[in-house]
Chain A
Amino acid sequence: MTNETEDPVASAARLVSGGDRVADSAPGDQGGNQGGALFTATTLDRKNARTERGYHSLFLLMSIVLILPVVAILGLLIVRGGPAFSWEFFTEAPRAQFTEGGIFPALVGTLWLVVVALLASVPLGVAAAIYLSEYAKDNALTRLINLAIINLAGVPSIVHALFGLGAFVLFFDFGTSILAASLTLAIMTLPVVIVSTRETLQAVPQSFRMACWSLGATRWQTIRKVVLPNSVSGILTGVILEVSRTVGETAPVMFTGAVLFTPFLPQGVLDETMAMSLHLYMIATVIPDVPPEVPYGVALSLILMVLVLNSASIGFRVYLRGKKKW
Chain B
Amino acid sequence: MADGTQPRPAQASPAGPTSTPDASAAAICVRDFNLWYGDFQALFDVNLQVTRGKVTSLIGPSGCGKSTLLRSINRINERLGYVRTSGAIELLGQDILAEGVELTPLRRSVGMVFQRPNPLPLSIRDNVLFAYRLSKGGKTKRADEDQVLQEALEEVLLWDKVKDRLKRSATALSLEEQQKLCIARLLPIKPSVLLMDEPCSALDPKATRAVEELIWKLRGEYSILIVTHNMAQARRASDECIFMLMGEVVEHTATGEMFVTPKHQKTADYIEGRFG
* A3 CB → nearest B CB, Å: 51
- The residue of chain B having its C-beta at the shortest distance from the C-beta of A212 within the complex is B120
Evaluate contact between A211 and B120: CB separation under 8 angstroms.
Answer: yes
Total residues of chain B contacting the partner, CB 8 A: 29
- Given A210-B114, A325-B169, A325-B171, A215-B185 contact (CB < 8 Å): yes
User: What are 10 A-B pairs with beta-carbon distances under 8 A?
Assistant: A208-B121, A211-B119, A215-B107, A215-B189, A216-B131, A216-B134, A216-B135, A225-B130, A226-B121, A226-B122
Given contacts A138-B81, A210-B114, A221-B134, 12 further A-B contacts (CB under 8 A): A210-B76, A211-B119, A215-B108, A215-B111, A215-B134, A216-B107, A216-B108, A216-B134, A229-B121, A325-B170, A326-B169, A326-B171
A215 to B132, CA, bound (A): 9
Within 8 A of A (CB), among B77-130: 79, 81, 103-105, 107-108, 111-112, 114, 116, 118-122, 130
- The residue of chain B having its C-beta at the shortest distance from the C-beta of A209 within the complex is B79
* A169 CB → nearest B CB, Å: 43
Q: Is B48 an interface residue (CB 8 A)?
A: no
Within 8 A of B (CB), among A207-224: 207-208, 210-218, 221
Pick the contact of A211 from B103, B114, B169 — CB < 8 Å? B114
**A211: chain B residues within 8 A (beta carbon):** 114, 118-120, 182
A214 to B113, CA, bound (A): 9
**B118: chain A residues within 8 A (beta carbon):** 205, 207-208, 210-211
Q: Is A230 an interface residue (CB 8 A)?
A: yes
Q: Hey, what's the 0/1 contact readout for A211-254 against B, CB within 8 Å counting as 1?
A: 11111111001000110011000000000000000000000000
A210 to B76, CA, bound (A): 8
Q: In terms of DSSP, what is the predominant structure of the interface of chain A?
A: loop
Q: Is A53 an interface residue (CB 8 A)?
A: no
Evaluate contact between A218 and B114: CB separation under 8 angstroms.
Answer: no
Q: Is A137 an interface residue (CB 8 A)?
A: yes
- The residue of chain A having its C-beta at the shortest distance from the C-beta of B122 within the complex is A325
**B171: chain A residues within 8 A (beta carbon):** 325-326
Evaluate contact between A216 and B120: CB separation under 8 angstroms.
Answer: no
Q: Hey, what's the 0/1 contact readout for A182-223 against B, CB within 8 Å counting as 1?
A: 000000000000000000000001011011111111100100
Q: Is B51 an interface residue (CB 8 A)?
A: no
- The residue of chain B having its C-beta at the shortest distance from the C-beta of A208 within the complex is B120
Evaluate contact between A213 and B121: CB separation under 8 angstroms.
Answer: no
**A208: chain B residues within 8 A (beta carbon):** 118, 120-121
* A180 CB → nearest B CB, Å: 41
**A210: chain B residues within 8 A (beta carbon):** 76, 114, 118
Total residues of chain A contacting the partner, CB 8 A: 22
Q: Is A324 an interface residue (CB 8 A)?
A: yes
- Given A215-B185, A215-B186, A207-B111 contact (CB < 8 Å): no
* B110 CB → nearest A CB, Å: 8
- The residue of chain B having its C-beta at the shortest distance from the C-beta of A211 within the complex is B118
Q: Is B223 an interface residue (CB 8 A)?
A: no
Evaluate contact between A230 and B121: CB separation under 8 angstroms.
Answer: yes
* B135 CB → nearest A CB, Å: 7
A326 to B169, CA, bound (A): 8
A211 to B117, CA, bound (A): 9
Q: Is B74 an interface residue (CB 8 A)?
A: yes
A138 to B182, CA, bound (A): 31
Within 8 A of A (CB), among B150-201: 169-171, 182, 185-186, 189
**A326: chain B residues within 8 A (beta carbon):** 121, 169, 171
**A207: chain B residues within 8 A (beta carbon):** 114, 116, 118
* A262 CB → nearest B CB, Å: 50
A211 to B179, CA, bound (A): 12
A215 to B134, CA, bound (A): 9
* A139 CB → nearest B CB, Å: 9
A271 to B153, CA, bound (A): 61
* B203 CB → nearest A CB, Å: 16
- The residue of chain B having its C-beta at the shortest distance from the C-beta of A204 within the complex is B121
* A159 CB → nearest B CB, Å: 36
Evaluate contact between B76 and A214: CB separation under 8 angstroms.
Answer: yes
* A60 CB → nearest B CB, Å: 37
Within 8 A of B (CB), among A89-118: none
